[in-house]
Amino acid sequence: MARILITGAGGSAAYNFRDAISRAGRDYEIVATDVQPYHLELIDAEAKYLVPRVSDPGYLDTLNEIIEAESIDFVHPQPDVEVAFLAAHHDQLRAPTFLPSQAAVELCHDKMVFNATLKAAGVPVPEAVHITSPDQLRSALDDLLTVSPRVWLRAIRGAGSRASLPINSFYQGDAWVDYWRSFRGLDYGDFMASEFLPGHEFAWQSLWHQGTLVTSQARERIEYIFGNLTPSGQSSSPSVAKTVNRDDVNKAGEAAVRAVADVPHGVFCVDMKENAHGDPLVTEINAGRFFTTSNFFAHAGLNMPDMYLQLGLGNELDSTPPTYDPLPENLYWVRMIDMGYRLVEEGQWSSSKR
């Protein structure tokens, strides 16, 4: 029996991580923490705790008190802010984690530095410019609109396509920054403008151990949860996704991880999108935590969350899947708020019109 502490357990990503490991048939016992009380009601756990935010000086002490009281064997942080904090303070935590280095996590959390690092390493990335002023925005638009008819304006930090908007004029971009300045605490300097990528979007989930790629699998995001209600038309969370097996996606994903970490260790989830020529370009990496839909692959037979826990606990894997493409193509994952989720194989749609 292993007792696992999941942080950010009131969120859907942690819920799906919990769902994945429940399918492993192991004796995991779960202790859940979150900064908000309400959504903790949704996750199945032996114990649930409210904790301070990471920015609170008492956060680490509170976590360690829970670890001691609940005899925790392993800590899995799911939110980016907790991943970053524990990667930096893992030596002060009273239970093990399985996280990338602090340097790798910090690099991935700054999307502008991340873009520049990958570009210098020869990894395919979209053209991007750090937007520090209105003049910089005008200049960036002059350059980037020669590459594509729209430009992707987004916050340098944050998940879920934070502050993202496709624009084609200075007026649109300046007004968008002004909105975030007025109401959401961002300003010039917090944004980047990049080449707009019109093609298919991929999510490459990978697990590494001491520099070795254990396994990986890609999926294509087809539809987005409430994408029709967002200004950008999308989010990072799909309502429909399917497995894809492409050598160019695997190559780009592996190269991106190796560019940000000398010895990759833990989970690295790579986002990429095709340019107008169909080439996948890397846009970001979620380092140290799983994509929201980590249970998709688990339901299909590739349980990376369970493999991650076994390695993090110091155990050998029951079996080792292929390094690339362990799942067949065209397995669909369909999900929606208040409607659950379902794995559907190609050709098995219940509707006659597809």
Three-state DSSP class for 195?
strand
164 in any annotated domain = yes
Q: Which residues of 309-329 are buried (b: 16+ CB within 10 A; e: fewer)?
A: bbbbeeeeeeeebeebbbbee
Cα end-to-end span (Å), the chain: 45
135 touches 299 (CB < 8 A): no
pLDDT at 232 (0 to 100): 58
245 in any annotated domain = yes
Say which CATH number the domain at 31 has. 3.40.50.20
Question: How many CB atoms neighbour CB 218 within 10 A?
Answer: 25
Mean pLDDT computed over 137-155: 90
Q: Do residues 234 and 337 both lie within one domain?
A: yes
114 in any annotated domain = no
110 in any annotated domain = no
Q: Do residues 227 and 191 both lie within one domain?
A: no
The band of 156, judged by pLDDT with boundaries at 50, 70 and 90, is confident
Domain assignment of residue 223, given as a range: 201-345
At 53-65, the pLDDT tens digits run: 999 999 999 999 9
Q: Do residues 164 and 32 both lie within one domain?
A: no
User: Which of these, 145, 140, 186, lies nearest to 163 by C-alpha position?
Assistant: 186
Q: What percent of the chain has pLDDT over 70?
A: 95
pTM: predicted TM-score of the whole model, two decimal places: 0.92
Task: Tally the domains of the chain.
Answer: 3
Q: Do residues 173 and 213 both lie within one domain?
A: no
Mean pLDDT computed over 283-302: 96
Q: Do residues 160 and 184 both lie within one domain?
A: yes
109 in any annotated domain = no
Q: Do residues 177 and 206 both lie within one domain?
A: no
Q: Do residues 176 and 71 both lie within one domain?
A: no
Select the more confidently predicted residue: 235 or 156: 156
Q: Do residues 210 and 87 both lie within one domain?
A: no
Q: Do residues 79 and 166 both lie within one domain?
A: no
Say which CATH number the domain at 177 has. 3.30.1490.20
At 261-282, the pLDDT tens digits run: 999 999 999 999 999 999 999 9
Q: Which amino acid is at 114?
A: F
pLDDT at 17 (0 to 100): 98
